[in-house]
Amino acid sequence: MSSSEDRTAARHLRGWLAYAFASEVFAVVGLSVFLPICLEQFARDNGYLLPDKTERCTSAIGITMADDVRCVVKIGWGWMDTASFSLYVYSAAVAIQALTVISMGGIADHPPHRKPVLLTFAYLGAISAILFFALPSSSPLWPLVGILACGSNVGFGVSVVAMNSYLPNLARETKEVRAALAELRIQQEAELADSDIDLSSPPKVTAEQTYHAAVARSTSQISAFGIALGYLAGVVLLILTIIPVSKLHSSTFSLRLAIGVSGIWWAIVSVPAGIWLPNSTSLTLVEGAEVRIQDAKQWSWTGEIKAAWVRLARMLRWSEIKRLRNSFWYLGAWFLLSDGFATITSTAVLFGKTSLHMAPSQLILVGAITPISGIIGSLAWPILQRRLGWTELRMVKILVALVSLIPLYGCLGFLPVFKNGAGNGGIPFGGLTTPGEMYGLAVFFGLIYGPFQGYSRSLFSFLIPPGEESRWYGLYSITDKSSSFVGPLIVGLISDVTGNIRNAFFFLAAMMWISLPLLGQVNVLQGKEDAKQYIMDGGHDGLGGYTEVRGQEDDV
């Protein structure tokens, strides 16, 4: 690689990491910690205590109430638990996000529009978060907090889809992959020069294996480093928010302040990302795949949105599923896993607030511990993987099995030995019955969640038809950490029907277990070959994406 190409690749990588640094702050501070608490507190500030519904719920978050006292809020003509309100809003927000991601995925695949899509939705999300400053819970318009939550969630989700679409190209621009590709081409040219050489001879096989291994390592390393960097930024801001939350006595305004500040960070740090990311990214062609480029004169926003839904319908046809069965097996498992991981996060925060009566400062500490552990896990697990020679798929299976222990531990809280406590002949802790246990589980969850995100994203990149990254990452993002709407909806219903959010732990454990047989059906090597063959065969009736060719980029 020339020095010019080195500088170009470094600039692209800086831009990608800059946006990870910007957006993950909102994911850690807003989505994971403060949004669930803030939505519940908005409802609590306007709610009433059961069973009479005449006494207003307290606005002091840290107040300790009896376990059988519930706070409900009237929305429209019905009443719901304040914790369920938070979950329902979150579920609605990510459902809207899913529809938007599908519509915009094809536009993000069009090279000149990829970066504009990323920045447009980045600032939609950031501005929505900043507007939390302007909406107090005492306002008669307080339900508009749901619209702001939707705007921030949609902005985050769509921009991350555009960000993820850069990942395969970033990996192929690294020196290691370039060197491996050059060696592979030398072997291929030698074989073409001598037709008597066996095409399956050891030198070529070794070169191909080296190239694929280099792509896998680079993709995993970039993905893991981006997550670790974003987590680091989130932890810094999360720790800083402890000061205003404590000084303002955990008021609703302090929660709005934290979300607004995360939006400001998101907006400011997105500026260098917009400068360093290319206007149209270059994508190295993948071993012989045919390039399909739509005539730019025929391209339009409305036409691409309509085509996106047509493509989705065709992608989900049984004939398409059979052609890319490994990709769809993985998406089926990912639907459950991403939903489960994201719902564990939101459920744990609400469980700590409503059942363990933890103060916001305590929940902030829990929220800070998780990404710190995530950074450690994102860096430590790849080292263990290299030493043991495990594949990305095996790593995902191990991490899923480990995380299922968390909801199972919460289910133990129904046992009398843990439920009754030390004063009634039981054990003073265990089964997630004390606030102290939340800190230990936060460490354990973070060590798993950080590397899980990196391995999952890296693994999926091998199963995507080349040139259709945004569209397939769109499907991926529909059920990503900010795009999981089924889990929160079901947990909200469980909480409303049973009056005890702890019952949701059974549902969360089941989601983890059901995903393992689906992962067992995935053959990554075959899936990668199927994805390349899919493009060579013309994809789905010519409605495929765009493959960018080196030398046709318009860098800024």
Q: Name the percent of the chain lying above pLDDT 90.
A: 20
- Lowest-pLDDT range, 131-135, 137-141, 210-214, 323-327? 210-214
Q: Is 79 helix (H, G, I), strand (E, B) or coil?
A: strand
Please report, for residues 200, 471, 482, the alpha-carbon distance to residue 101 in angstroms, rounded to integers and kept in the order given.
Answer: 42, 9, 12
| Structure token digits, residue 36 | 């669930």
Tokens representing 148? 């702001």
What's the Cα-to-Cα distance from 180 to each of 173, 204, 216, 466, 526, rounded to whole Å? 11, 12, 12, 19, 21
pLDDT band at 64 (very low <50, low <70, confident <90, very high): very low
State both tokens at 385.
């993987």
Integer Cα distance of 370 and 367 in angstroms: 6
Q: Please tell me whether the overall predicted TM-score, pTM, comes out greater than 0.85 for this model.
A: no
Coil, helix or strand at residue 72: strand
Cα separation, 490 vs 486, in Å, equals 6
Instruction: Give residue 123's pLDDT.
Output: 96
Over the stretch 182-200, which tens digit does the pLDDT of each residue have? 777 777 777 676 655 554 5
> What is the model's pLDDT at position 6?
76
What are the start-end ranges of the E strands in 62-125?
71-75, 78-81
Percentage above 70 pLDDT, the chain: 83
CA separation for the pair 377, 534 (Å, rounded): 35
For residue 366, give the H/E element and its range: helix 360-388
427, 415 contact by CB (below 8 A): no
Residue 294 reports pLDDT greater than 70 = no
For the domain made up of 3-63+71-536, the CATH class stated in words is: mainly alpha
From residue 516, give the alpha-carbon distance in Å to each of 384, 449, 483, 523.
21, 16, 21, 14
d(CA 216, CA 406): 30
108-111: long-range contacts, CB 8 A cutoff, minimum separation 24: 108/158, 108/161, 108/162, 108/165, 108/470, 108/474, 109/165, 109/467, 109/468, 109/469, 109/470, 109/471, 109/545, 109/546, 110/294, 110/299, 110/304, 110/546, 111/279, 111/280, 111/281, 111/546, 111/548, 111/553
First to last CA, the chain: 20
Give the pLDDT band of residue 512 (cuts 50, 70, 90): very high
Q: Average pLDDT in the 417-441 region?
A: 76
Closest CA to 159 of 116, 127, 129, 130: 116
- Residue 54 CA to residue 49 CA, distance in Å, equals 7
pLDDT on residue 454: 81
At position 487, the amino acid (one-letter code) is G
| pLDDT in the model for residue 204 | 52
74, β-bridge pairs: 79
Of 219, 85, 241, the residue nearest 164 (C-alpha): 219
Closest CA to 230 of 278, 262, 277, 271: 262
Residue with the larger pLDDT of the pair 475 and 401: 401
Delimit the domains of the chain by residue range: 3-63+71-536
Q: Residue 515 carries which side chain, given as an amino acid letter?
A: S
Q: What is the pLDDT of residue 289?
A: 36
Q: Determine the 3-state secondary structure of 49 from DSSP.
A: strand
Region 300-319 average pLDDT = 78
In tens, the pLDDT along 218-269 reads: 877 887 788 778 878 888 888 888 888 888 887 889 999 999 999 999 999 9
Query: Is residue 30 packed enough to be buried (19+ CB in 10 Å), middle (13-18) or exposed (0-12)?
Result: buried
Residue with tokens 């997105």: 270
Q: How far apart (Å, rounded) are the C-alpha atoms in residues 103 and 113?
A: 14
Q: Please report, for residues 280, 324, 474, the alpha-carbon distance to residue 320 in angstroms, rounded to integers and kept in the order given.
A: 29, 6, 17
The tens digit of pLDDT for each residue in 351-370 reads: 888 888 888 888 888 888 88
Q: What is the DSSP letter of 26?
A: I
- pLDDT single digits (tens) 319-346: 778 888 898 899 889 888 888 888 888 8
Give the pairing of strands 71-75 and 48-49.
Answer: antiparallel
Question: Which has the higher per-residue pLDDT, 120 or 548?
Answer: 120
Per-residue pLDDT tens digits for 272-293: 999 998 776 444 444 433 344 4
pLDDT of res. 129: 95
Beta bridge partners of 56: 48
Cα atoms in the 13 Å half-sphere on the side-chain side of 412 = 17
Which residues does 387 contact at the CB level (< 8 Å), separation at least 6?
none
Burial annotation 201-233 (CB, 10 A radius, 16+ → b, else e): eeebeebbebbbebbbbbbbbbbbbbbbbbbbb
Q: In the predicted model, is pLDDT for residue 498 greater than 70?
A: yes
Question: Between the CA of residue 391 and those of 429, 476, 532, what are the distances in Å?
Answer: 38, 20, 21
DSSP states of 141-177: TGGGHHHHHHHHHHHHHHHHHHHHTTHHHHHHTSHHH
Distance of alpha carbon 112 from the chain centroid = 25
The pLDDT of residue 443 is above 90: yes
Q: Give the alpha-carbon dihedral of 48, 32, 392, 444, to 10 degrees.
A: -80
Q: Distance (Å, rounded) from C-alpha 494 to C-alpha 322?
A: 36
Residue 547 has pLDDT above 50, yes or no: no
